[in-house]
Structure 1
Amino acid sequence: MTTTVFVDGRVFGLEARGGVSRVNYEWLKALSGRIHFHLFHGFYQDMYDWSVIRLDRNDGVRRSSTIRGLGRLSLVMERPWMERCWRASHRAGCSIFHATYYRIPRSLHEARLLVCDYDCIHERYPDMFRDTKEVVKRKRHAFNHADTVITISESSKQDLIEFYGLQEDKIRVAHLGVSSFFRLPEEKIEKGNPPYLLYVGSRATYKNFAIVERFFRETMTDMDLIVVGGPSLEECRWPGGGRRLWVRADDERLRSLYWGACALIYPSMYEGFGLPPLEALACGCPVVASDIPVLREVLGEHAEYFSCTDVDDLEAAVNRALGWTEKRRLEGHNYAKTYTWERSASVLQDCYRQLS
């Protein structure tokens, strides 16, 4: 008998593409046809191709500019709608509620609850966020009612035990996957002219972008820095002659940037997983990463590590990355391709099976 799961797609109203919305989209896509999904899409804004996923139900309305402007009011409007859809699905035989972003129904009606968690950044750095108390309260409420909590790294699992006192056997770890789209180029590609280092992601404080800028100001490197993601940045010149360039990139352009980069710099002080370094490795791009437990867990020996507060250490790591041989790049590629969404989703499927 095929399991039926109600998925509260709150994440698809939070992000148009990427981040935790991408995680859940890839999981649903990998399990399409094997699980009966009732997706509550709500007021969504995502840009994913849902035609490739088999959904038994999909309740939602794409946000218009009017609805987007309602902000928090749209969440208030969405809650009773979600509750009605959940009751209808439960009456139709749905026995598992999958919470993608800590929102759970007022009554589970004796169904089982699976809650997804992605990191404990609010808990680790509470002063960086205005909504820390609200987020922690919502997460604690969801975890207290959950039968299973699924997270994306062993490091995140240890954070859940530390901050919430969860029992180890209540938590399952599903490492993320790398899309087959990120691959080695079919033909040899010359590095960028002028050569550049690449930064991918937001520039929130914990992402530690500041040390990258210090590196370019203090080391007199003549390379460019290309920044992908986050708010736009004005072009500027570094003391060594290189430029800081900000670009908006879809997956196709991002892959080309990985192919042409001398290295990716990933300087985060904290991550739940860290997907861009794996994507870079899959494309044959050397990786320079901060020496934190989760990146050691995910990247293993396939990165050049540095202390995330030490510019001299970063410079040494960049110099080591610039010396990567074709053999080293191929080893990184082969390692990254062991992370598949199918393997990741199999953990979720096993959770569903145990909860059925």
Structure 2
Amino acid sequence: MKIAFDNQIFTKQSYGGISRIFANTAVELEQLGVGVRIIGGFHINNYLKELPKSITSGKYIESYPKRSLRVFNQLNKAWSSLEANKFKPDIIHETYFSFDSPIKKKKPVVVSVYDMIQEIFPQLFPEYELTTPEKKASLERADHIISISEHTKNDLVNLFGIQPDKISVVHLAADTLSQATANDYKEPERPFFLYVGGRRGYKNFKSLLRAFASSELLVKDFDIIAFGGMPFEKEEVELFHELGLNENKVRHESGADSYLAFLYSKAFAFIYPSLYEGFGIPPLEAMVNHCPVISSNTSSMPEVIGDAALFFDPREKEEMKNQMERLVLDSKLRQDLIKKGLSRSENFSWKKTAMETNKVYQKVLAS
């Protein structure tokens, strides 16, 4: 069996969750003996640079010259057709959403869906970022759909009217983050809660700040470190001041995966206040790195995290504050969550993701 991944996501992301999913899955599929080829074309993706040449084709460029993206899209369509004719895939797995199939070949098509955030919270996105029409077109022409959680599958059924038997759920995994040595990074002076990722809109970071600031216990003894995403915006800094939080109390950090692993291992707890996630990899990363998890109880989070976290309603500031304080006041509970997290994380691996994906491919070819 031969599977071709198209170039869509690799032309959009230098780094990013979706392109990393496909890169990891391709490596594991090859280990399972599946013929796999990522038809990258002219791409900007850094993960592809690190993959074996046996599973990739294409040329890395640092960025597309201004006003040239349309030209490169046409070049990539031609490149994709040539590569597909050489590789002769049995299935084409589209890596993102488009009105027309990027690889013009009469083969079964599989499409992955990662979340339905834009459909549930369209008001949080500028109009030019909304991809709902392209998503609908992709899913209509797909022979089968992979959803990364049962919750996202239910959203697809309820919001788009897709038949449940056209959708298979394949869970993701956490990357094994390279561990830092003891001398690589300086340990923060005060205990801290760790937040990871973007902070806008449905990520609900401002609610976390308000919950934290409302607790004398938390403010007195703890800081918040926000890792990743953009540096703090003016609006966020103004909120810090409004809440009486100085900029040493809430800090932005960024860096290599080894630094993130270091922060997970040193954090008092990882906190995840998001209103919606299609899957939610950061809690799994925290668990793998011996960091207890406090998470919102919405969308896919209970499905992924199981009983290995303290949960709260992300729209209830008092609930969030209470769960943070509860962990501070109960050292045994914290150790129990660390043990539960390690156990829960063992249910997820990229090898398992690839095996379940391969079952979908076999089902498609047998139908």
> Matched residue of 2:146: which SS?
strand
Instruction: Give unmatched runs, 5+ long, in structure 2.
Output: none
- Residue 307 (structure 1) aligned to one of 288, 293, 313: 313
Offset at residue 42 of structure 1 (A): 3.1
Offset at residue 319 of structure 1 (A): 2.0
Matched with 1:25 is 23
Residue-by-residue CA offset, 1:23-42 (whole Å, 9 max, x unaligned): 11111111125222232213
Residue-by-residue CA offset, 1:251-301 (whole Å, 9 max, x unaligned): 100011011111111000011001101110111111111111310111111
Within-5 A mapping of 1:184-195: 192-195=188-191
- Residue 168 (structure 1) aligned to one of 159, 164, 167: 164
Distance 1:327 1:106 in 2: 48
Q: Is 1:178 paired with 2:174?
A: yes
Offset at residue 106 of structure 1 (A): 6.7
Identity of aligned residues (%): 27
> Matched residue of 1:55: which SS?
helix
Matched with 2:225 is 226
Distance 1:106 1:226 in 2: 41
- Residue 254 (structure 2) aligned to one of 248, 253, 265: 248
| TM superposition score normalised by structure 1 | 0.88
Distance 1:69 1:83 in 2: 21
Matched with 2:123 is 127
Q: 1:226 to 1:266 in 2, by over 3 A?
A: same
Q: Is 1:98 paired with 2:103?
A: no
Matched with 1:239 is 244
Matched with 2:338 is 329
Answer whether contact 1:40 1:82 (CA < 8 A) is retained.
no
> Matched residue of 1:16: which SS?
coil
Instruction: Give unmatched runs, 5+ long, in structure 1.
Output: none
Q: Is 1:280 paired with 2:311?
A: no
Distance 2:131 2:138 in 1: 11
Answer whether contact 2:171 2:348 (CA < 8 A) is retained.
yes
> Matched residue of 1:333: which SS?
helix
Matched with 2:204 is 208
Tell me whether 108-117 or 200-209 shows the greater mean CA deviation.
108-117
Distance 2:65 2:342 in 1: 40
Answer whether contact 1:184 1:282 (CA < 8 A) is retained.
no
Q: 1:9 to 1:337 in 2, by over 3 A?
A: farther
| TM superposition score normalised by structure 2 | 0.86
> Matched residue of 2:271: which SS?
strand
Answer whether contact 1:191 1:261 (CA < 8 A) is retained.
no
Tell me whether 270-279 or 30-39 shows the greater mean CA deviation.
30-39
Answer whether contact 1:229 1:247 (CA < 8 A) is retained.
yes
Offset at residue 314 of structure 1 (A): 0.7
Offset at residue 60 of structure 1 (A): 3.1
Distance 2:123 2:324 in 1: 31
Pick the structure with more helix per residue.
2
AA partner of residue 239 (structure 1)? G
AA partner of residue 25 (structure 1)? A
Matched with 1:77 is 72
Q: 1:56 to 1:251 in 2, by over 3 A?
A: closer
Distance 2:117 2:49 in 1: 30
Answer whether contact 1:226 1:247 (CA < 8 A) is retained.
yes
Matched with 2:14 is 16
Answer whether contact 1:182 1:283 (CA < 8 A) is retained.
no
Offset at residue 206 of structure 1 (A): 0.5
Tell me whether 242-251 or 176-185 shows the greater mean CA deviation.
176-185
Answer whether contact 2:111 2:145 (CA < 8 A) is retained.
yes
Distance 1:136 1:245 in 2: 35
